[in-house]
Structure 1
């Protein structure tokens, strides 16, 4: 059953848990990074995309030092002040430093508001009362890489200080400055001082993330940046634009902004839960929707296998002294066999007998991919849940549904997942190839092989690689003296494909509103 791992009692190791325990989530991450570049999972508000080029230009005009420490202090002060502004403006979400800002503003109000808030001290690197722990603030943690990728900032020649790009960066800096009006100079003065009063924070309310004006030049530049057109249909700008247009298409049908979950299911099923089809028309948009369909299918694939891993872990939990691998597999297969009723002779016959749901995202159809995945997650994600043979067999049925639908609809898996299928990446493409390889074998022999090779052995191999390469101890299962023991519990998770921040951005710039598309949204869709 592979390598035996013995950790001496005196040896220290970092316990990092079972993140991506089967090495399959990375293919989903690699795919969604292609599909929506320039927006990240922790780039939470659009207005930061205007704030940073404006700050960079102000820094270059008033200081210009290429010393990274000087730039870091300037940057952290600005972020701390911005957190105070956002909190004072009404506790706006998605801003770094909110917890510190609430504490600082509350203390100032308790003191009668006469004592200024020393945000300069909170922004100083190494401060005991820091606004944000990350050394380079939320700029370094989240926004910097995306601002470079989307073309708002460019890299300085021979130094690490960013520059506003000549087109988008300078346009955003101009639009932001104009939108702030007199508040722009107040910000600059307060920032230089490192102290701010509550009255000054009120005067700085135009800076708040929600205050992008509906008809402003600033808003128009944000839209041009997000929906930038490229002659190359496979360019990052084109992929981001197509993803945002798909969001608008779904919002148009729903009559309201979608959340990330209903969006990803609508793109996978090609229709809303209520059965309203996505009528895309444009060939590039149809192809991009298919990429998102493959992303979602890939996510469902690793969720199914991670549910089988949870099935293994729950069974091992009843054996604190461990159990021989062959005995474990026999027990797991017996549990699934009992729960499944009459199973076909082989995988090929299972596929032949499956009736795919007309709407894969219909929650009312018990055999839809949505229903199978939801049933699995409801059990496998609960801390006190227990994955039994019935839930494990639902994971097998989900794999079968993905396999059959990919064949029926001729998904271009090789084109989309081929680059992410190797020793370091596993995907729906690699798992479908495995199932096809053994599709004529005895059904339960295949299931035993699936659990052993694609779950147990793979987890041990992935965890061993992390231990060797990253010095991270992520074993959920330990193999010792010919017995397997559970070391830690874990369960399946979806990856997070940046869709919720994208939806928030579209709300921030008034393309999405309460009724779905605003007039700006209608124009953006019509211009596609």
Structure 2
């Protein structure tokens, strides 16, 4: 009998959310951009996959899941080859495709690369490719896909089939016949790759029914759209608003910060409600980055102590450092500090960039992190509309941590001096919290994400940590709008201006 633990080696997965705070922001931004994710990189994949499903079904295909997976994987490998030949990006497997093209084979046999055999150089390792790993859930959210009784993903009878027909119509009969044949054969010549170029993501014609369908889908212009679809449409409208305000093609950071402050000109009520939710999300992300900066400082304190400090030692180091700091306000109460700050003119973006700068020393981030927390506290106290958006979008109780839970804790301790409050915060909300979160991941997922360990009452350093922001789906959303010609390198297009007016 083997009386060993189930794991005898610890797999170091440091974890992206060591305080369990990022997930609250993730859940909020998912509700603000449903149907698009950080890995759905191009709009045309939605029509391409619908066409693949319909073509598979019409070819008297097997109900065996393995046959369906083989069809999907071959189609994706071929799409990568066609896109690589055309110089397209945002396509799964394109790095593999570039290597195959560089080999200058007159005919490329991609059957092995599309298999699930780990001994082969596969275009992608994911079992069901980017379809299963990225697109299916989002297309199901948009009403394009569902699952049949055999477990095979199939297009819906209305929107899914419409998308399939419009993709086929846009690329032409000759192209779709060649595409279907080459998927089945899993062999293609360079000349045939060039003949398939109409299918690539950037070839959506601006005056096509396919392009208009994607716009209608994204902006929820069908009859009686679901609430989630309305939310996505409002966010896309706000991206177009940002493009108009900035006079160019906005990046994700431009959108984040443009939506962070109330606009000079009032927005329609539904867009302002959505903007407030994005402002609440940004406040959440700022708070989690500030807390993560204090975690990085605590880890640096642990690392600087040879045998490892006790919790009391860490608190004493934190309080001593802040008490001896030049900031006189650190000797006053937390309430006094937050009231001394102007929550509108506070340099949020500069501090955000400082906290997420990997070159900054942990101890150097402490004062900016503390000031940011105080400014956020005051911002929500002074803005009932923003506080209401945070209440609606973020958890305040239970095991989850969020902007709301942290501000509630700060509020309950605000008569304490800043130095004492932060000393307690680091121990209770950072050090102990990380240990709890890491233990839950070990118990539930068997992932070892501890950044320090406790041994004989002392904390022993394992690894450092760099504060990171969450990534709220804005980059692919902006790319989708460019794919359907609402944005270009100069910003809003005439089509985009029309879409913006309709969204208002």
TM-score by length of 2: 0.94
Equivalent residue for 1:377?
356
Equivalent residue for 1:363?
none
Aligned mates of 1:396, 1:374 — CA distance in 2: 15
Aligned mates of 2:397, 2:70 — CA distance in 1: 43
Change over 3 Å in CA distance of 1:39–1:322 after alignment to 2 = same
CA offsets, 1:225-268, max 9 Å, x none?
10114787981000000000000000011121110011111111
Change over 3 Å in CA distance of 1:446–1:282 after alignment to 2 = same
Q: 1:145 aligns with which of 133, 137, 151?
A: 137
Equivalent residue for 2:29?
32
Q: How does 1:66-465 map to 2 (within 5 A)?
A: 66-90=63-87, 92-107=88-103, 109=104, 111=105, 113=106, 116-126=107-117, 128-156=120-148, 158-181=149-172, 182-229=174-221, 235-270=227-262, 277=264, 279-343=265-329, 344-358=331-345, 367-378=346-357, 381-382=358-359, 385-388=360-363, 390-410=364-384, 411=386, 412-413=388-389, 415-418=391-394, 420-465=395-440
Preserved contact between residue 44 and residue 504 of structure 1 (Cα < 8 Å): yes
Equivalent residue for 1:361?
none
Return 180-189 or 406-415, whichever deviates more.
406-415
Change over 3 Å in CA distance of 1:135–1:222 after alignment to 2 = same
SS at match of 1:30: helix
Aligned mates of 1:439, 1:234 — CA distance in 2: 42
Aligned mates of 1:427, 1:324 — CA distance in 2: 27
Equivalent residue for 1:274?
none
Aligned mates of 1:129, 1:462 — CA distance in 2: 37
Equivalent residue for 2:480?
505
- Corresponding residue pairs, total: 494
Change over 3 Å in CA distance of 1:230–1:223 after alignment to 2 = closer
Preserved contact between residue 21 and residue 459 of structure 1 (Cα < 8 Å): yes
Preserved contact between residue 339 and residue 393 of structure 1 (Cα < 8 Å): no
Preserved contact between residue 318 and residue 422 of structure 2 (Cα < 8 Å): no
Aligned mates of 1:317, 1:162 — CA distance in 2: 50
Aligned mates of 1:325, 1:426 — CA distance in 2: 21
Q: Please, what is the CA RMSD of the aligned residues? A: 1.8
Equivalent residue for 2:455?
480
Change over 3 Å in CA distance of 1:233–1:193 after alignment to 2 = closer
Change over 3 Å in CA distance of 1:233–1:283 after alignment to 2 = farther
TM-score by length of 1: 0.90
CA offsets, 1:471-509, max 9 Å, x none?
111111211112112111111111111000000000011
Shift of 1:339: 3.1
Q: 2:60 aligns with which of 60, 63, 69?
A: 63
SS at match of 2:38: coil
SS at match of 2:188: coil
SS at match of 2:325: helix
Aligned mates of 1:488, 1:432 — CA distance in 2: 28
Equivalent residue for 1:3?
none
Q: Does 1:520 align with 2:495?
A: yes
Please, which runs of 5 or more residues in structure 1 have no aligned partner? 1-6, 272-276, 359-366
SS at match of 1:64: coil
CA offsets, 1:113-163, max 9 Å, x none?
3xx10112211221512111001111010001111011111222x222222
Equivalent residue for 2:15?
18
Preserved contact between residue 354 and residue 401 of structure 1 (Cα < 8 Å): yes
Aligned mates of 2:236, 2:353 — CA distance in 1: 26
Please, which runs of 5 or more residues in structure 2 have no aligned partner? none
Aligned mates of 1:233, 1:345 — CA distance in 2: 53
